[in-house]
Chains A and B, each alone.
Chain A
Amino acid sequence: MAVQTRSIKRRLKSVTNTRKITKAMELVAASKMRKAVGAVLMSRPYAKLAWEAVLAIGLKEDTTLHPLLRQSDHITNVLMLLVSSDRGLAGGYNTNVIKTALQEIKRCGKDVRVDSVCIGKRGADALRRIGGNILASFTEITNHTKFDEVLPIGSMVVEEFSKGSYDRVVVVYTDFVSAVSQRPVALELLPLGRPEDVEGLGEISGSVIPNQATSSVNASESGGSHTSDFTFEPSARDVLDRILPRLVETMVYQAVLEAAASEHSSRMMAMRNASDSASDMIDDLTFTFNQARQAGITQEIAEISSGKAALEK
Chain B
Amino acid sequence: MSLKLKIVTPERIVFEDTVDSVTAMTQMGEITVLPGHIPLVANLQAGELRVRANGAEQFLVASTGFLEVRSGNEVVVLADTAERAEELALEQIEQAKRRARELMNQKRAVDEVAFADAAALLERELARERVAMRRKTYRDVGKAKQDR
Question: B42, A239: Cβ atoms under 8 Å?
Answer: yes
Tell me whether A232 and B40 are in contact in the complex, defined as CB-CB below 8 angstroms, given that A46-B78, A147-B10 are known contacts.
yes
Tell me, rounded to whole Å, the shortest Cβ–Cβ distance linking A98 to chain B: 27
Number of A-B contacts (CB under 8 A): 82
With a CB–CB cut-off of 8 A, which chain B residues contact A49?
A: 6, 8, 68, 76, 78
Give which listed residue, A50, A231, A233, contacts B78 with CB less than 8 A: A50
Interchain CB contact under 8 A, A56 and B6: no
Closest to A230 in B: B39
In this assembly, does B13 line the interface, its C-beta being within 8 Å of a C-beta of chain A?
yes
Tell me if B71 counts as interface (CB < 8 A to partner A).
yes
A226 within 8 A of B: yes
The size class of the interface chain B forms with chain A is 20 to 34
A42-B13, A53-B66, A146-B11 in contact; A234/B38 too (CB < 8 A)?
no
User: Would B41 and A226 count as touching, CB distance under 8 A?
Assistant: no
Q: How far is the CA of A56 from the CA of B11 in the complex (A)?
A: 23
Contact with A along B31-42 (1 / 0, CB 8 A): 000000011111
Contact string against A for B residues 17-43, beta-carbon threshold 8 Å, 1 for contact and 0 otherwise: 000000000111000000000111111
Q: Which A253-269 residues have a C-beta within 8 angstroms of B?
A: 253
Complex CA–CA separation, A67 to B72 (angstroms): 33
Q: Is A57 an interface residue (CB 8 A)?
A: yes
A226: chain B residues within 8 A (beta carbon): 39, 70-72
Residue of A whose beta carbon sits closest to that of B72: A226
Q: Does A200 contact B (CB under 8 A)?
A: no
In the complex formed, the residue of B with least CB distance to A250 is B10
Could you show 23 A-B contacts with beta carbons less than 8 Å apart?
A42-B11, A42-B13, A43-B11, A45-B8, A46-B8, A46-B10, A53-B66, A56-B39, A147-B11, A147-B80, A147-B81, A226-B70, A227-B70, A229-B38, A230-B39, A230-B40, A231-B41, A233-B28, A234-B28, A239-B42, A239-B43, A242-B66, A246-B80
Given A53-B76, A227-B70, A231-B38: 4 more A-B contacts, CB < 8 Å: A49-B6, A53-B41, A53-B78, A147-B11
